[in-house]
Structure 1
Amino acid sequence: MAAPTVSPRDNARQAADLVKSAHSLVIDGHDIQLSDELRHGLRELLRHIAAGDEVEVVARREYLSTQQAAEILQISRPTLVKMLDDGLIRFERPGTHRRIPQSALEEYLAKEVDARKEALRDLADTFDPNVPDQIVSTR
């Protein structure tokens, strides 16, 4: 009787659980010490593989080009440039090109999340249970 086979997803799930508390990793007899950052990155990678997600590794740089930042925000580059020029996102211009610090993009995204939450709270405050539902014509 053949032994049951273990799927690559099961292997990844088991590895993710082991990496969670690992302090080192042995590869071909070489002991590699795991920093918190490396341990977290490996665990995230393995968790996505275990979930069956398609995984693409993208390096995060300290500074992003306008095209890279636009891709992260899923907007066009000209729209991003307008946002930069309007002062919505902090940027630097070391030469002729704009460079966006990764931290500035993260700050912008955090502000957007906070603004959405605030807008939802404001909308919820307008709810009056004594007013019957009405159909609103949009055309």
Structure 2
Amino acid sequence: MSALHESKTYVPSSENLEKYAKLHDFNEALQTKRGQVPEAECFLSGPEPGQQVVLPKDVYELLVAVVDAMQQGMAVTIRPNHERVTTQQAADLLGVSRPTVVRLVENGELPATKIGRHRRILLVDVLEYQKRHETRQFDAIAATSDLDAEIPPAEFFKSVRAEVAAERANGA
């Protein structure tokens, strides 16, 4: 199998929906029994007895996210980090408008290259900007908090943000 060099979208197969559901239920049972993430190692096994390899935690979490999405009938796209994206794709990832991304590029906050009239941005640079921006947001919130009160950790703000996003997605 060759290395993945381009984006690839995986569309759930209708004949595999029952298998996705079984994987999803299996993972939920593990989380219920053991907590948020299984404490024991998880393995990828081959067709022959003894053919297995330990899955790193980040690969396990990626597989769980893929199964959850496909079980819900959603397609999943895998995109290498070295790939260049358009300003519109960067805007979609950041949740801002395309003109905002153009302004970030012009202000030097987001590196980009110009190919003809079009700007292209490394996906990894977009993701790094997103992480820096979130850190600045959390720091600003903490700085405006009452100094006598205990300042919640960044994880608290991330969980609140995730809850709000979930409510929006559910149409609340």
TM-score range, shorter chain: 0.5 to 0.7
More displaced stretch, 92-101 vs 69-78:
92-101
Does residue 84 in structure 1 map to residue 96 in structure 2? no
Per chain length, whose mean CA-contact separation is higher, i.e. which structure has more relative contact order (CA < 8 Å, sep 6+)?
A: 2
User: Could you report, residue by residue, the CA deviation over 1:31-70 in whole angstroms, capped at 9, with x for unpaired residues?
Assistant: 89897576543222224456xx563312324211112111
Gaps in structure 1 of 5+ consecutive residues: 1-5, 129-139
Secondary structure of the equivalent of 2:113?
coil
Is the 1:23–1:34 contact (alpha carbons within 8 Å) kept by the matching residues of 2? yes
Choose which of 13, 18, 25 in structure 2 pairs with 1:13: 25
* Native 8 Å contact 1:63 1:99 kept in 2: yes
How far off is 1:11 after superposition?
Answer: 4.5
- What TM-score results when the alignment is normalised by the length of structure 2? 0.51
Q: Does 1:55 align with 2:67?
A: no
Superposition TM-score, scaled by structure 1 size: 0.61
| TM alignment of 1:40-119, pairs within 5 A | 40-48=61-69, 53=72, 55-61=74-80, 62-119=83-140
Sequence identity (%):
23
The separation in 1 between residues aligned to 2:131 and 2:85, in whole angstroms, is 17
- Look at both structures and tell me which one has the larger radius of gyration over its CA atoms: 1
CA distance in 1, matches of 2:63, 2:69: 10
Opposite residue 77 of structure 2, the aligned amino acid is: V
- Residue 67 to residue 118, structure 1, CA distance change in 2 (3 Å): same
Cα distance, 1:94–1:35 mapped onto 2, change above 3 Å: farther
| 3-state SS in 1 of match to 2:43 | coil
Q: Which has the higher strand share?
A: 2
